[in-house]
Chain A
Amino acid sequence: MAFELVVVGTSLGGLSALRNMLRSLPRDFPTAIAIVQHRHKDSDIALTAFLQQFTSLPVGEVEDKTQILPGHVYMAPANYHLLVEPGIFSLSTDEPVSYARPSIDVLLESAADAYGERLIGVLLTGANQDGVQGLAAVKARGGATIVQSPETAECPVLPQAAIASVSVDQVLPLSAITAHLIHLCSPAGR
């Protein structure tokens, strides 16, 4: 069964990691990508515009009930949790999870529920544990799991915590993560 969604979580250092990741994805990358980057609750849309500079894949901030389309990049908006349902996104202002809203755990857990083994979960550089539980859920539902190798991460706390508590499929430096995603999502990938 082909992968239909990639979910990515990152906090500290995430901006440059995301930039590098998106920059090396081909314009015909076939799979939808949803991203939680921890950010201040008052930050505005600039993050989306910033990342759009580095890719020809359309990057957009999610509005409630946005349809999930292949080859699109979706950013969680500031101050909302981003949740995945089969085929669409939902938002929530539920209380922050480990101080974070959007929370990586919320995105990954709901995506694991909705997409099961058609999901790839990716954790990049990050300064806290948010995302670890989510990645465990991705793994438990049969999805693929990838973590940035701690020595290549601007902030290794999140990658280390993930590796310590989930038996992650691939631990890779950033450049190799992109290549691996391209491989997994190609028709022959699985």
Chain B
Amino acid sequence: MVLEKSVLGPEDIEVRLLVDRVYQLYGYDFRNYAAASLKRRIRNFLRMEGLASIAELQRCVLQDRACVERLLLGLTVNTTAMFRDPSFYVAFREQVVPILRTYPFIRIWHAGCSTGQEVYSMAILLQETGIYHRCRIYATDTNEQVLQTARNGIYPQSQMQEYTQLYLKAGGSRSFSEYYTASHGSAILRPALRQHVVFGLHNLVTDGSFNEFNVILCRNVLIYFNQTLQNQVHKLFYSSLCKFGILGLGKQETLRFTAYEHQYEPLVRIEKLYRRRD
């Protein structure tokens, strides 16, 4: 089946004009985000804002900086959880940590860390395996608002039951309640967990490499990008990983459909843990 590029409908053209404009005016680059989910996000945003059309949103973007900030939040998906996909953490503990033990100093980059749950999960795992003191975690996202939540490390108490379950499935060896104190409906994570974490703004589309890492984790971020942009970001990851460095992707992501498939070998195939070949 040869797929002729389907013809752009009027809505697709409006979406394109909008993201072009946002890029021109503010430098936020959504031009190569995956089209179908971007369109859905824009439709949802129109509904939330009570706007009748993308054209109307265009006008708001021109005049109203606050609306732009809301739009940026509205266009990205920030879903996350502690120990999301527990089997990933089991594999990390069993297959990656032994490799990391051989290094005197370990740099880890969480790209697209959202509100930080994944970062604290990793800090707990590293602590329980006794190598956290040798690690530095760089946790980045393009969105200042979610980063602020990440820095605070305070989450709704109501989520702790689920996180506890996931922690246990992920091979956690203690009582999860040791890692937080409950207060007025919130769970405040132990500040010691972020002792070796640096949170910072970084946009995967427009910012470059800023260090060399032993591990890069980028889970459930690239699914929002089209293949052109995925390849661009994989180039960034490849050049930011040291030799034999480790790359971890989300559960349903793969290097298979990218230009970097052959630069890595699978370390734990089903958990999407890869190792840079040289």
Contact = CB atoms under 8 A, between A and B. Distances in A.
| A interface residue count range (under 10 / 10 to 19 / 20 to 34 / 35 or more) | 20 to 34
Interface stretch (A64-72, A166-174, A178-186): A64-72
Contacts of A115: 6
B252 A106 contact: no
B167 to A, nearest CB: 15
B203 to A, nearest CB: 20
Interface in A74-122: 77, 80-81, 83-88, 90-95, 106, 109-110, 113-116
Interface residues of B, number: 29
B222 A116 contact: no
In terms of DSSP, what is the predominant structure of the interface of chain B?
loop
Contact of B34 (A61, A80, A83, A93): A83
Nearest to A45: B270
Interface in B227-263: 227, 230, 250-254, 256-257
B164 to A, nearest CB: 15
B1 A85 contact: no
Q: Kindly name the residue among B6, B79, B222, B252 whose own CB sees the greatest number of chain A CB atoms within 10 A.
A: B252
B35 interface: yes
A64 B222 contact: yes
A77 B227 CA distance: 20
Interface of B: 1, 3, 5-6, 9, 11, 34-37, 39-41, 77, 79, 220, 222-224, 226-227, 230, 250-254, 256-257
19 contacts: A4-B1, A63-B253, A64-B253, A65-B227, A66-B257, A67-B257, A80-B252, A81-B37, A83-B34, A83-B37, A86-B5, A90-B223, A92-B34, A93-B79, A94-B79, A95-B79, A109-B40, A114-B6, A115-B6
Closest 10 CB pairs of A and B: A83-B36, A110-B36, A87-B3, A93-B79, A86-B6, A65-B257, A90-B34, A92-B37, A64-B223, A63-B254
Given A77-B252, A92-B223, 6 more contacts: A85-B34, A85-B36, A85-B226, A92-B34, A92-B37, A110-B39
